Chains A and B, each alone.
Chain A
Amino acid sequence: NAGVTQTPKFRVLKTGQSMTLLCAQDMNHEYMYWYRQDPGMGLRLIHYSVGEGTTAKGEVPDGYNVSRLKKQNFLLGLESAAPSQTSVYFCASSWEGFEQYFGPGTRLTVT
């Protein structure tokens, strides 16, 4: 039982490049989330999903897209990376919106 896993762990992008972060969970959770963590700002919700095929915007959705084609996977895409998107990205999942289980994070640097 791996819980929540994230791929990759680290990535460096140049401004304007695109990439996709993958989150996978094996707990059969309906709800999945993407957050970014910046110093002094805690975690901020980017997008979330309440089930396969559904997505919704969180607090800071601009510049990101998401897809939930399979229940166990939640993908976060950056179409044209900007230095302001340098951050640590955390994925989480939960059962019916209660306590969330977090992945190990992806550290992204955009130069």
Chain B
Amino acid sequence: AQSVSQHNHHVILSEAASLELGCNYSYGGTVNLFWYVQYPGQHLQLLLKYFSGDPLVKGIKGFEAEFIKSKFSFNLRKPSVQWSDTAEYFCAVNAPNNNDMRFGAGTRLTVKP
């Protein structure tokens, strides 16, 4: 089964700093890739997704992610973070036609005002 690694457990940034959160997966075949965000006390919401096509995908709230197949990576980026981006971020992967979605352990982002 596929697995997902998120390298950073807790990231602390000041407002306006740039963000990059790492995500690597282990699966040899075609994959669907997702980033979800969980704001404090709320449920998970989809930030962005990659199924096929342009490896640079844009999501909501100015987030983007780049799929690099050769590196099995799907890193999340944002040029300038805001205090409201404070949340936990989860990378997830599944194979097409496979309902077993695997999530990473999550990265907690704290943005200082």
- Contact, CB under 8 Å: A90 / B100: no
Known: A40-B105, A44-B103, A105-B43. A97 touches B90 (CB 8 A): no
Mask for B1-44, Cβ within 8 A of A = 1, else 0?
Answer: 10010100100000000000000000000001010100000111
Number of A-B residue pairs, CB cutoff 8 Å, is: 56
Which residues of chain B have C-beta atoms less than 8 A from A45's C-beta? 100-102
| Bound-state Cα–Cα, A44 to B100, Å | 10
Number of interface residues of B (CB under 8 A): 28
| Bound-state Cα–Cα, A72 to B46, Å | 21
- Contact, CB under 8 Å: B45 / A102: yes
- List CB contacts (< 8 Å) of A76-111 with chain B: 90, 92, 97-105
Number of interface residues of A (CB under 8 A): 25
Q: Which A residue sits closest to B45, measured CB to CB?
A: A102
Query: Which A residues form the contact surface with B (CB < 8 A)?
Result: 31, 33, 35, 40-45, 48, 50, 56, 58-59, 90, 92, 97-105
